[in-house]
Structure 1
């Protein structure tokens, strides 16, 4: 064993050891302390690390995808104030994750944290549960993002050929799934390139998201011939949702989904730490800055677009030019009413499409690193394959696995979009459960033993952690509530079915098999 390298058992007793205690001259020292041999190329700085999380959060993606939901359940009031509410509580989750990331900067991220914080007796099960919720949640994010891009491309084609009212071409569900597969293929090819190339794309993605937000939030309401009043944007509550729900509180709660769905994916900064310089500092910075910047630019984007909203029922109607795709109709209508042509609106949708493309690309990057780390610890079938890296130090097989799984997760859309929604609901609830588990262990089992890294919340760590855990518990219940009445097979909210099914499979596989052989994170050092 190299001089200065400690055994993983010793690392467990001292969760964070000052780097000054060891004679290491490179950024891999903390990773070695945690028990892992460095295999990935450490090229990312704090900006690049931030860019991956920021481009996965991608306010242009989340808001565009679920703008219909925001308009339906509460409208401007829910979107304007709900965004800030979700943003505040999301920041508490991010701060707690950043504190843990500073102590354990590994690609495994959440599942590794759970293992270290749950204690020796609970470590294997805590790691198993967190890891599977995390990786399936990430696959669901990639699925929902790339499928949303395929749907938006369908709408762009529809509008480009005349729209619903002009005999435009509307692609079938089979064409949409083929487009989805093509997008995943391109993302897999890009993610097969070196980390320096991915870093370059990631920074472009971050810049595109910021510039795109400010361009559209100014351009759309400026071009629109009819604009909403300030009173409408900040006080109008849409209770006429047509879903049989009359309680304003209930409606407000359902409308929060748009904001909370958007503000996910920032665990990417943790999964990229083995490729980040000064990871115990820059990983936490990436998480916090990605959330903070997203909250600000996302709110600005929401306000700008909502000032161009004047007729909510028409925007949600399947009879409009965009076939009921609300934000596409807003863009198209703004230019068509002023210039007699909606081409400018289609170009604006193209700006959004590029942002969604980058979002899916970065999401697959995060997926592959999680699969690489999880299989490195033997948790996945055929683990020896998924943690192999190529000459460019990229986990190539994990990349293509992520693409394949994300394609398969979209296939239920061919039968029913309701079934597809059940699958991708894991992207919000499932992923947030994975976020909350290590935080829960941090404020309970590891309350007195956790030793923080360079970034920490000090005496406020426990309080912030409990707020984060309670928020995730709350949205898990709220987003599982029925979204329409009467409840039928077409209106049932399948979120509890999907998330409950994942929980059942994860726990049952543990009881039947994994408890006999999975021991949690294991060292791969040659000791």
Structure 2
């Protein structure tokens, strides 16, 4: 006999399935993910410890402490506005597919927009996972060098990256419960890890920098004369909660809360971590001249010594690994959503679920692409960095579509979910659109002067390649196959202002 808790769970699941069925989708996944799991997915995808570490070493050379501190806070504020814009749409459309599905419902008369958004975002998530797994390999290479003094070759680093890619695939193949537990664990790991890192740095650093250095010192190693040209940091990944909306209970509430909450949490944690790094950095020139695969390893070595550096890098490395795993979670779910709507080839294969409720074909396609792309690192670090930096731009390009539609067609959101911005909706979307457009342009500009073949920002080439691939598939395949969302559940939309649709 069922108890009150089981009955309540059944009611919650029934309510959770209601909105996707109204949108025309039959429930296919078990709703095994809790609020903590959904929040963890977004938090995990952002990867704040690793993201802050990468932002730190980039910003330190192009803006110094001054650029780091203000750049982090200003960009975090704008990313919060973007998250609010996304959360409002996510609450209205809590289904798998995220950005892609939002565009398909906001502008159904232009299916090319949804198709291109879905493909660009799928490529971006796959490359993000690839980048994350290679970063894990670079952290391991730094750990080896700190511990033994031995520098790993590029082939050895790529071999490690292959193993990390495959392990990411194995974890994703075990399904929603495993991913949910890992992402929940990541929240505690990040909170505890940040506390350990901050305390270790502040206690063990032999020289503490002054507040004047932390908040006013400007450094510029880029060669650009303008002091306004410094690195810009973004917190991408919070929208990943939308990719698992059909696997979470009451996703119309939980997913938007996770989108916004993960940005706020990451902003605060990242700021605390960054301040600890700034107060503890011993020598900027030492970090710039380091031989370690991850430059921030030099900061830790100078500040806390060999043994504590090994501990600190291990904390960040594991956080990075969990972030990379969730990128493949997002890419595989997006492939499922695209295939369900005839926007991806091999529909039956990409929609197939194993006994753990995992879309395993999308998972292992992401792993395969990750292994192939990682091989570029052997031939050219510059080429590999161009491919992977294009992932960040592709994500921002994907952000542009739904936000732009909300700005230029304010009535496009036919029905509001429980999370909405009210009278502030258009203003927040307009500011988000301006910032997203600015970032897309900034990310393809050269990062150093004078520009030469070694410091040229080749991301513009790789982004152009992604756009060309997506455009070509649309012209020769997509426009004949993709017409918009394909319903898997017959429903009536009488009185809703939405026309009846046919069951595919």
Q: State the TM bucket, normalised to the shorter chain.
A: over 0.9
User: Which of 255, 270, 282 is the aligned partner of 2:242?
Assistant: 270
Contact 2:332 2:366 (C-alpha < 8 Å) held by counterparts:
yes
Show the counterpart of 1:315. 287
In 2, Cα distance between the equivalents of 1:475 and 1:172?
A: 34
Q: Which moved more, 1:189-198 or 1:451-460?
A: 189-198
1:119 Cα deviation from its structure 2 partner: 3.4
Show the counterpart of 1:20. none
* 1:62 is the counterpart of 2:51: yes
* 1:169 is the counterpart of 2:133: no
Contact 1:216 1:305 (C-alpha < 8 Å) held by counterparts:
no
Show the counterpart of 1:180. 161
**TM-score with structure 1 length normalisation?**
0.88
Show the counterpart of 1:164. none
In 2, Cα distance between the equivalents of 1:404 and 1:150?
A: 17
Q: Which moved more, 1:441-450 or 1:455-464?
A: 441-450
Contact 1:224 1:335 (C-alpha < 8 Å) held by counterparts:
yes
Aligned residues: 481
Query: Which whole-Å deviations, capped at 9, do the CAs of 1:386-442 have from their partners, x for residues lacking one?
Result: 111112221122111121122222222122111111111122111011112111112
> What RMSD in Å do the two structures reach over aligned CA positions?
1.8
* 1:377 is the counterpart of 2:346: no
Q: Which moved more, 1:25-34 or 1:96-105?
A: 25-34
Alignment of 1:327-406 (within 5 A): 327-336=296-305, 342-406=306-370
Contact 1:369 1:395 (C-alpha < 8 Å) held by counterparts:
yes
Query: Which whole-Å deviations, capped at 9, do the CAs of 1:153-212 have from their partners, x for residues lacking one?
Result: 101101100xxxxxx211111111110010111111111113222211111111101111
Show the counterpart of 1:217. 198
User: Which of 57, 64, 74 is the aligned partner of 1:85?
Assistant: 74
Q: Which runs of 5+ in 2 are unaligned?
A: 1-11, 491-502
Contact 1:378 1:384 (C-alpha < 8 Å) held by counterparts:
no
Show the counterpart of 1:202. 183
1:281 Cα deviation from its structure 2 partner: 0.9
Q: Which moved more, 1:445-454 or 1:43-52?
A: 445-454
Contact 1:61 1:145 (C-alpha < 8 Å) held by counterparts:
no
Change in Cα spacing, 1:194 to 1:505, as seen in structure 2 (3 Å) is closer
**TM-score with structure 2 length normalisation?**
0.92
User: Which of 371, 386, 394 is the aligned partner of 1:430?
Assistant: 394
* 1:490 is the counterpart of 2:469: no
In 2, Cα distance between the equivalents of 1:486 and 1:111?
A: 39
1:446 Cα deviation from its structure 2 partner: 4.6
User: Which of 474, 484, 488 is the aligned partner of 1:520?
Assistant: 484
Show the counterpart of 1:27. 16
Contact 2:129 2:327 (C-alpha < 8 Å) held by counterparts:
yes
In 2, Cα distance between the equivalents of 1:157 and 1:24?
A: 48
Show the counterpart of 1:304. 276
Query: Which whole-Å deviations, capped at 9, do the CAs of 1:33-91 have from their partners, x for residues lacking one?
Result: 11111111111122110001101112111122343211111111111110011101101
Change in Cα spacing, 1:230 to 1:449, as seen in structure 2 (3 Å) is closer
Query: Which whole-Å deviations, capped at 9, do the CAs of 1:71-116 have from their partners, x for residues lacking one?
Result: 1111111111100111011011100000000111111111111111
Q: Which runs of 5+ in 1 are unaligned?
A: 1-22, 162-167, 337-341
1:496 Cα deviation from its structure 2 partner: 1.5
In 1, Cα distance between the equivalents of 2:75 and 2:468?
A: 28
* 1:246 is the counterpart of 2:225: yes
1:127 Cα deviation from its structure 2 partner: 0.8
1:483 Cα deviation from its structure 2 partner: 1.1
Contact 2:91 2:416 (C-alpha < 8 Å) held by counterparts:
yes
Look up the SS of the partner of 2:72 in the other structure: helix
Query: Which whole-Å deviations, capped at 9, do the CAs of 1:201-242 have from their partners, x for residues lacking one?
Result: 111111101111121112112101112111111111102x1x
Show the counterpart of 2:33. 44
Look up the SS of the partner of 2:456 in the other structure: coil
Show the counterpart of 1:133. 120
Show the counterpart of 1:8. none
In 1, Cα distance between the equivalents of 2:189 and 2:400?
A: 30
In 2, Cα distance between the equivalents of 1:344 and 1:430?
A: 37
* 1:116 is the counterpart of 2:105: yes
Show the counterpart of 2:83. 94
Contact 1:56 1:359 (C-alpha < 8 Å) held by counterparts:
yes
In 2, Cα distance between the equivalents of 1:475 and 1:265?
A: 15
1:327 Cα deviation from its structure 2 partner: 1.6
Query: Which whole-Å deviations, capped at 9, do the CAs of 1:462-518 have from their partners, x for residues lacking one?
Result: 110111111110011111111122222211101221212212222232223321221
Show the counterpart of 2:469. 505
In 2, Cα distance between the equivalents of 1:33 and 1:294?
A: 34
Q: Which moved more, 1:393-402 or 1:88-97?
A: 393-402
User: Which of 131, 135, 141 is the aligned partner of 1:144?
Assistant: 131
